[in-house]
Chains A and B, each alone.
Chain A
């Protein structure tokens, strides 16, 4: 029920109606949230008009975002405040804030329990927070500078990447212990599970690679995807954000300062295309029906919307300074 209320909020009603005749229904209800690392704000983009309709003030240095399991709140890791800000998705206000430990960067939400997993870069740990009881559940030691976190669709496995150890630590969420440690490319940034839970894709910024971890049996790296953008210095080809379509068709990889998004065949790992977007493309998010891919472009300060069918960049939307993460309301 709260979902309905939200989409027909008076402010958006006019915009939504205006666009009704032009766009497919799916894009209408869509709100895209973008964390502006340098501005301490979240930009809210309306999916129909592709314009910023709201800017939410949050704590200092907002980066990773995640929705609560019931979809009522947006969690934002605000690194310099050492907290997770929680935004009510009806009022678009920060309604509470929970201490997170040192320098939270990436967060993920457990699909079954009211837990937030937080990578604390300074302390070499992954913290587990209970956002209902507002307590610290436990701390899981990993390597140096934990950054990326990926959680399996069934919630059983958590993958934590550590930037200086260059490892993917595979954490059993039942025992809350890291049980496997696998070397991946230099400065691993992001971990994303395929929707069937069989693989975890781990990007490495400095190596410019994506390592595919087998999550069924061996937990080993079973393939490494490399990228080469013609006419672009290889050092600038750095792999960061990853988005995987649920039909198993495409994997999208943000390639940082090469200003491209790679399109990868999720089954064969073949790189199919490179799409030019804004400067220093960082993170990616698919929308609800996976017809659109949104990218944050840190240096140019905008968000690019890519049409998944045609694999074309359609529009870039100016947001705040240094947009870092992006997430689309389900």
Chain B
């Protein structure tokens, strides 16, 4: 029973692809399908946001893909196309390969990844993937866009370096050039601290001192926790050299949220907490973003996160390329996605598009406080011969990626 409809879909796909080459409009009763699989991983149990105001989300990324699917299909209905989404979310430490195999068996031709770097690398190397393209909507690792890049791997979520550069540009605009750096004791935070140092150097800032916060996971709900924090943090920071901002690198959100208003010197807190660089935020409503926020909230009953946004961008990239080319065939879609013609409206003011040298989506980055957007990078005055967006992240000349 289950194989029949699938076989039918393949027939329909093969037959229609020919027709679509001639005209972007085919009868709506025989749509040509693009079948996408979302492959995610459950959140680690011990990783909940530090602030009780932030919800614990179990469908992050996935809901963004679902909205992208809806948005694509709203247009596809006029073009004789149809998008289909299959979903697979594995447990922590679960078998990613098995989930991939099951998606492929369901006819998935494109994959959106909500996986951390190690699991994503596993997918890229897995034989079941074949030559299917994977969109990374989750992992910020620069390595995936550098030495470990892959021609069939596209990144809709920004790299750490893009976020750090976006923040560095804004701090340059403010002329807050002396940074004190506090980072966590996870591998991710050590990597981020190095990335922040590189961004500081690129944009003429100085890291005047740094400290590693020797945190252990703390109870999220602990009455009176601030009494201890109020005494601990100023002492921890008091002998840092004179600085303009305190930069926090705490990607897992273990401790950074404690720092605003507890510093020794009266300095703003920026980085992963306080004033943040992020591809998406609920406070962002410019350039029609309010429409996307509302559509998402109607669908998911919660706010859209950066990872939801990354998954939405992946689906929309496919939707835009399929609509423009009138084709659902992989080669035509990819050719268009990498061409100069490809311009996706991402509610960020500038069109977003893929860098040909590492398949990273170039995009504006929000600079935002917890409750209000402060700015959007690239900042005015930071020039680039191609586009100001390419001043964020590894540029063509310095990229370690060789396809």
Report which A residues bind B (CB closer than 8 A): 103, 121-122, 124, 143-145, 162-167, 181, 183, 185-187, 205-207, 233-235, 257
Task: Provide the main secondary structure of the chain A interface.
Answer: loop
> Given A122-B294, A187-B345, A235-B350: A144 and B74 within 8 A (CB)?
yes
List of B residues within 8 angstroms of A186 by Cβ: 320, 343-345, 351
List of A residues within 8 angstroms of B190 by Cβ: none
B295 located at the interface, meaning its Cβ lies under 8 Å from any Cβ of chain A in the complex? yes
Q: Which of A122, A187, A207 contacts B295 (CB 8 A)?
A: A122
How many residues of chain B are within 8 Å of chain A by beta carbon? 23
Instruction: Decide: B351 and A207 in contact? CB cutoff 8 A.
Output: yes
Instruction: Decide: B71 and A164 in contact? CB cutoff 8 A.
Output: yes
Report which B residues bind A (CB closer than 8 A): 24-25, 71, 74-75, 78-79, 288, 291, 294-295, 320, 323-324, 343-345, 349-351, 387-389
List of A residues within 8 angstroms of B294 by Cβ: 122
Alpha-carbon gap, A166 to B74, bound state (A): 11
List of B residues within 8 angstroms of A103 by Cβ: 291
List of B residues within 8 angstroms of A121 by Cβ: 288, 291
Task: Across the interface, name the chain B residue whose C-beta is closest to A209.
Answer: B343
Instruction: Decide: B350 and A165 in contact? CB cutoff 8 A.
Output: no
Looking at the assembled complex, report how far the CB atom of B66 sits from the nearest CB atom of chain A, in whole angstroms. Answer: 14
Looking at the assembled complex, report how far the CB atom of A315 sits from the nearest CB atom of chain B, in whole angstroms. Answer: 26
Q: Which of B320, B345, B351 contacts A163 (CB 8 A)?
A: B345
Q: Which of A164, A185, A233, A235 contacts B75 (CB 8 A)?
A: A164
> Given A207-B351, A235-B387, A235-B389: A165 and B345 within 8 A (CB)?
no
Instruction: Decide: B351 and A124 in contact? CB cutoff 8 A.
Output: no
Looking at the assembled complex, report how far the CB atom of A132 sits from the nearest CB atom of chain B, in whole angstroms. Answer: 31
Instruction: Decide: B387 and A233 in contact? CB cutoff 8 A.
Output: yes
Alpha-carbon gap, A50 to B212, bound state (A): 61
Instruction: Decide: A165 and B288 in contact? CB cutoff 8 A.
Output: no
Q: Which of B74, B343, B345, B388 contacts A124 (CB 8 A)?
A: B74
A-B contact sample (19 more), CB < 8 A, given A166-B323, A206-B343: A103-B291, A124-B74, A143-B75, A144-B75, A145-B291, A163-B291, A165-B75, A165-B78, A166-B345, A167-B78, A185-B343, A186-B344, A186-B351, A206-B345, A206-B350, A207-B351, A234-B387, A235-B387, A235-B388
Looking at the assembled complex, report how far the CB atom of B373 sits from the nearest CB atom of chain A, in whole angstroms. Answer: 15
Looking at the assembled complex, report how far the CB atom of A300 sits from the nearest CB atom of chain B, in whole angstroms. Answer: 14
Looking at the assembled complex, report how far the CB atom of B320 sits from the nearest CB atom of chain A, in whole angstroms. Answer: 7
List of A residues within 8 angstroms of B295 by Cβ: 122
- 10 residue pairs, one from A and one from B, having the closest CB atoms: A165-B75, A181-B78, A187-B345, A235-B350, A206-B345, A206-B351, A144-B74, A186-B343, A186-B345, A145-B291
Instruction: Decide: A164 and B388 in contact? CB cutoff 8 A.
Output: no
Alpha-carbon gap, A143 to B75, bound state (A): 6
Alpha-carbon gap, A166 to B79, bound state (A): 12
Q: Which of B75, B288, B387, B389 contacts A167 (CB 8 A)?
A: B75
Q: Which of B71, B324, B351 contacts A144 (CB 8 A)?
A: B71
List of A residues within 8 angstroms of B78 by Cβ: 143, 165, 167, 181
Instruction: Decide: A235 and B351 in contact? CB cutoff 8 A.
Output: yes
